[in-house]
A and B are shown apart, each in its own frame.
Chain A
């Protein structure tokens, strides 16, 4: 666990640095994929950029809107460079909205665009796992295994490394054969979603900080991931049915 990296007089927040590196590398991969698929790279880049910026602004506005009273006396505090002052849900909604608006205005093909974004999402999943390793989030249950890591006064399952390993495998799968046009549009994205959801369900078995719901101790994230998995598999089947004229 290394949440802060001290470089001379500067204290660099390592998880943030990993996220930035992940976004940069992910953009690179998506750009390369889009080029090989013959898509408009400029438009894909602009879509990602606007969505990210919109998400960031949306997350800050959402946070301020929810805590308006706290900023009424010093409104300029709302502009502070604090990553804590972001609301994830608002950011996600803003990001999706802006992505949709941009995509519609530029007449981007939804499934082809999602396929082009898939390599970036794959890289992002890897960086999230490394961010968790740096910050100590998503840590595992105590276990004495040859590969256990010592964290928070205990030998534990290295769940962040399990996550990272899974993310690397999934990324390699979804990034392979970029020039293969025999795969239906959207299949690559849906495979990524299904495999990532399945990985979440599997790794959460070993996580200590699982949030539980009252169904005999079922994890919220596991259950959410399962619904996402079912939806993605159903969509894959549906796309196939449509493509083959109703015959699977």
Chain B
């Protein structure tokens, strides 16, 4: 095959021309932005909406946070990397909350103990909202396969980065957050 291809002089000359035709064909054929507006837990898609209760039984909805940069962190109190990265989230929250950063710590309560989660958050001095996914609906909607999983959502509600696993460090969080905050409204 290699030898045959090597000897086919004409084929190599035809390839670039065929390439041009394929590019032109794809402009006509591919329905550009066919996935625009779809809500999926994937980079480039709008973040799926949800409402959950926080520690004071107040409902918090993601849709209300449009215009803010949102970090959505799924965690559990028994998960060591989740515990390890919590101080970094708090540091970054302290640093950027006045610029429009919102961090939502979604506790996967359906596989955790709500009280332990709350106690852990208090011990670590977590100031950002901790939400409780008691029935696992939001975790399923976000297709959580491992803990921690962190979503970075821009001001338009589009998921810009998903990081599976941890612990995430302060430097990485700052870079991601500053990038999104720098984009303005």
CB of B145 within 8 Å of the partner chain: yes
> Number of residue pairs across A and B with beta carbons under 8 Å?
136
Task: Let me know if A173 and B178 touch, CB within 8 A.
Answer: no
In angstroms, how far is the closest chain B Cβ from the Cβ of A127? 19
Q: Within the complex, what minimum Cβ distance (angstroms) separates B163 from chain A?
A: 6
Q: Contact at A183–B12, with CB atoms within 8 Å?
A: no
Q: Which residues of A contact B6 (CB under 8 A)?
A: 183, 187, 191
Q: Report how far A206 CA is from B45 CA in the complex, Å.
A: 18
A188 at the interface (CB under 8 A from B): yes
B26 pairs with A219, CB closer than 8 A: yes
- Interface: A4 (CB within 8 A): yes
**Segment from B28-36, B55-63, B104-112, B116-124 that makes contact with A:** B28-36
| Contact (A11, B3) CB under 8 Å given A4-B145, A74-B170, A142-B34 | no
Chain A interface mostly helix, strand, loop or mixed?
Answer: mixed
Q: What are the residues of chain B within 8 A of A237 when measuring CB–CB?
A: 12
Contact with B along A21-63 (1 / 0, CB 8 A): 0000000000000000000000000000000000000000000
Task: Give the size range of B's interface with the partner.
Answer: 35 or more
- Is A205 part of the binding interface, using a Cβ–Cβ cutoff of 8 Å? yes
Q: Apart from A141-B34, A233-B16, list 8 A-B contacts with CB within 8 A.
A: A70-B175, A194-B15, A198-B19, A201-B22, A202-B22, A208-B30, A230-B16, A233-B13
Question: CA of A217 to CA of B27 in the docked complex: distance in angstroms?
Answer: 6
- Binary contact track A182-207/B, C-beta < 8 Å → 1, others 0: 11000110010010011001101111
A177 closest partner in B (C-beta): B2
State whether B171 touches A80 (Cβ < 8 A).
yes
Partner of B34, one of A180, A182, A208: A208
- Asked whether A85 lies within 8 Å of B172 as measured between CB atoms, the reply is yes
CB <8 Å contact, A77 and B3 = no
